[in-house]
Amino acid sequence: TGQLLAFSRRQVIDPKIVNPNNIITNLEKMLKRLLGADIALQISLAKNLSPVMADKGQMGQVIMNLCVNARDAMPEGGQLIIETMNTQLDETYRISHPWAGPGSYAMISITDTGMGMDEETQARIFEPFFTTKELGKGTGLGLAVVYGIVKQHNGLIHVYSQKGHGTTFKIYLPAFSGQAEAITTPKLAELRGGNETILLAEDNDMLREMAETILKKFGYTILTAKNGDEAIQIFNANSDKISLAILDIVMPVCGGEEAYARMSAIKPGLKVLFVTGYSAGTHHTDFISKERHPFLQKPFSQEDLARKVREALDS
């Protein structure tokens, strides 16, 4: 998927001059919803933070991923602190991290008051498929993806943790000596919602929760599934109510294409929106262009998702 591509450093990124503070501010409402009532979110942003060259969508995904991981480490609730600051990586730091270029960096730190990690876990935390979650709860790709994206931005990421004493992730992005462009927040109020029932199948926990949160905000009723198989079971029980299926193309057990074929056999003409991290034109997306199905590329913004869903429902 696009996430594995990001890990292997082949994801296409679209860097612009941005201020990381703006990315965090734009995510704040969404983060509060994802964290829930039991976790207090505290944001402390440096006043004169250096701009960086970054892909807004990808860096947003990094912050969301780390915050969802922090939330999962605090099942009883707690505090999540996001801070930014300017920092210099000096020669002392570079003795232990020789790959780090010297100079000015913008640092984003995300700290939780959760259960913490032992040294063995910290050493393996960025490996693909390494997970501390029980079997069947998430694919364990989250932090490998975070690592891949940060690396692509010529940045560094470090974890500091102690069992029983919470965890801090620090991301260092090279400072850009120029002016940051303002991120224009999409005018979500201008986008139309609806009251239809939508089936959403996505194996990445964070993306599924994020998409569900966004779509509920627009008035839709959402039924969620973690893979194509689960999606088909939910569809069989609710096919009369479901107006649209949003399906990730690559999922464990049964992918989006097969799931849609089986659903549309039961309900011909079922509307669909396929979601993928792959670019249009790869073999994974051939059938989409052939059948002219609507399709949404990851990572997507709230505006992209709301607009595509409405277009698919109205088509």
* 218: CB partners within 8 A, 6+ apart: 191, 192, 193, 194, 306, 309
- Where are the domains positioned within the chain? 2-174, 188-314
Beta bridge partners of residue 112, listed in sequence order: 80, 167
Q: What is the pLDDT of residue 114?
A: 87
Per-residue pLDDT of the chain (315 residues; tens, 9 = 90+): 444 444 444 456 788 999 999 999 999 999 999 998 999 999 999 999 999 999 998 999 899 999 998 998 899 999 999 999 998 775 555 555 666 677 789 999 999 988 888 878 888 888 776 665 554 444 445 788 888 889 889 898 888 877 777 888 989 999 987 655 454 445 556 788 999 999 999 988 878 988 998 899 999 999 999 999 999 999 999 999 999 999 998 887 888 999 999 999 999 999 999 997 655 555 556 778 778 889 887 767 778 899 999 999 998
pLDDT tens column, 63-118: 999 999 899 889 999 999 999 999 877 555 555 566 667 778 999 999 998 888 88
User: Is 3.30.565.10 the CATH classification of the domain at 2-174?
Assistant: yes
User: In this structure, is the dihedral angle defined by the CA atoms of residues 29, 35, 38 and 44, taken in order, positive or negative?
Assistant: negative
Classified by CATH at the fold level, domain 188-314 comes out as: Rossmann fold (3.40.50)
* 287: CB partners within 8 A, 6+ apart: 257, 293
d(CA 253, CA 233): 13
Q: pTM to 2 decimals?
A: 0.61
Which DSSP helix (H) or strand (E) runs through 165? none
CA-to-CA separations, 315 to 69, 133, 200, 211, 271, in angstroms, rounded: 37, 40, 18, 21, 8
d(CA 258, CA 33): 32
d(CA 267, CA 265): 6
Half-sphere exposure of 120 (CA within 13 A, CB side): 2
d(CA 273, CA 164): 43
Residue the block writes with tokens 């462009």: 181
Q: What is the 3-state secondary structure (H, E, C) of 138-155?
A: CCCCHHHHHHHHHHHCCC
Q: Token digits for 275?
A: 């979601």
Residue the block writes with tokens 């990124």: 13
Q: Return the closest-CA partner of residue 73 out of 17, 35, 102, 128.
A: 35
Q: Give DSSP secondary structure letters for 276-300.
A: ESSPTTSGGGHHHHHHT--EEESS-
